[in-house]
Every structure is written in C-alpha cells, then in structure tokens.
Amino acid sequence: MTHRTRTLITVYTRQRIVVQALPGSATTWCQHCSDQVVALKADSVRAALQMSSVNLDRLLETGSVHAVESGATPLICGNSLSGHATENEFQIEGERQ
C-alpha cells in the first residue's frame, strides 16, 4: 500500500505602483481626485506598465484609472495609478507518493 501526500500551496503577490514625475509629465488639478496630481502621458504609462493601448483604454473606460485635461493632450492621473494595488493569487497543487 502506498501512502500519498497531497500538498496545496497558495501564493499571494502584491504590487504597488509608485508614481514619480517623469519628462513629459505635469502637475495638474484632477477633478476626480479633487487634488493636485502628477499626470503622465499615455505613452509613458503604457511603457512603464508594459501595457497595450487597448488595455489602457479599457482601464480608462471602466474608471479604474482616469484622465485629466492639461492643454491639448489628455494625461493619465498618477493618483489613479498608484491608488490601486494589484493582487494575484494562484495555487499549486500536487501529489507525492
């Protein structure tokens, strides 16, 4: 008779985004946050987060991040980026004989 041991490992990861002023960023008023914020160009956000423009547009549409008006170019509010930590959970399951 063989004895089997079942192991279940749950791994939690957490990521926090810290926004700093970059070239092409601006400090501007955000209506949604009611605060002065660092606002970034969409290209800078996509590059920093390694995200496609489709995914960034989806985040803007759902309100997960928001845009601020600063001149002719809309910018992404840095508070909306740093305000949301991303959490992931995955499980590894296996048997050993």
Q: What's the pLDDT at 86?
A: 53
Q: What's the pLDDT at 16?
A: 63
Q: Which residues of the chain have pLDDT under 50?
A: 85
CB atoms within 10 A of CB 53: 11
Q: What's the pLDDT at 94?
A: 60
Q: What's the pLDDT at 28?
A: 87
Beta strands in 1-97 (DSSP E): 5-15, 26-30, 35-40, 67-70, 73-77, 86-96
Domain range list for the chain: 5-96
Q: What's the pLDDT at 47?
A: 82
What single string gives the DSSP state of each residue in 70-96? ETTEEEEEHHHHHT--EEEEEEEEEEE
Q: What's the pLDDT at 96?
A: 60
Q: What's the pLDDT at 92?
A: 61
At residue 48, what are phi and psi to the nearest 5 degrees? -65, -40
